[in-house]
Amino acid sequence: MSFVYHKKRYHPVKLTTEYHSKDQSSNYDTILLPLDEAQTPACCCVRQRNSWLRQLRAGRPWVCDARTAALLAAFFTMVCSVFVASMYCCLLYQLSYVRKDLAELYYGVQISYLAVLSTQLSLFSLSVLLYTAVLQERIGWVGLWMVGVVALTPLEGVCTMYSNILRDHVNKKFDVQSKVEMGVFIIRLIANVLGVGGVFRFYRSLQSGQSYLPSDQFSL
């Protein structure tokens, strides 16, 4: 008789073996499963990270579990930070050629670009921290990422608007560059809201005591 140990409440379940004999009692092995996983089709152990399979069976394949959502948020934020930082590095290089046109507004636009660039570097560092926190289930680091994103995203929006207002004051129009900058920021703003929602789900699950790490098992 074999047992599977989990750090949860247990519920005995009988599973049929591949050999059948006249003695029906020998056709079953008794194992212990958690109460919330006793009715799942898995043979012995169902890990929380595979819950997206259950969502797929329920007809909702677009819904992922909290851990996957947090990892996607970390990866997306890192990629977007690298992209936006590269874009503003190019804008800073281009700004040096129009210094005479901007006159006294040049330093205001330059400071705005540098502020946006610093926010992207901070978001990249926080995303690396979040990725590590999700893998190691460090709830403090997860909360730090949420606070950082909520604080840095409005700062980036203010700096983007300020630089566009200064340039448009000189150009006397809302040019293509301003439209591209605001479009990228709005798309990232929507993605950040969804990302914070997914990370908050993971934060709440850790607060409730749920663990996504592989459970300890041994046989008797």
pLDDT computed for residue 216 by the predictor: 56
pLDDT in tens, the chain (220 residues): 444 444 444 444 444 444 444 444 444 444 444 444 444 444 444 444 455 455 544 545 446 778 888 999 999 999 999 999 999 999 888 887 877 777 778 888 888 999 999 999 999 999 999 999 999 888 899 999 999 999 999 999 999 998 888 887 777 777 788 888 889 999 999 999 999 998 999 999 888 888 877 765 434 4
**Tokens coding 219:** 């046989």
Beta strand 28-34 with 10-16 is: antiparallel
pLDDT computed for residue 104 by the predictor: 77
Whole-number Å distance between alpha carbons of 102 and 95:
9
pLDDT computed for residue 156 by the predictor: 92
pLDDT computed for residue 214 by the predictor: 73
CA distances from 136 to 67, 131, 156, 199 (A): 11, 9, 30, 14
pLDDT computed for residue 24 by the predictor: 46
Domain boundaries along the sequence of the chain:
1-46, 66-207
pTM value surpassing 0.85: no
Task: Name 159's Cβ contacts closer than 8 Å, sequence gap at least 6.
Answer: 112, 113, 115, 116, 119
Amino acid 19 reads Y
pLDDT computed for residue 51 by the predictor: 53
Q: Which stretches of 17-171 are assigned E, i.e. beta strand?
A: 28-34
Q: Which helix (H) or strand (E) holds 13?
A: strand 10-16
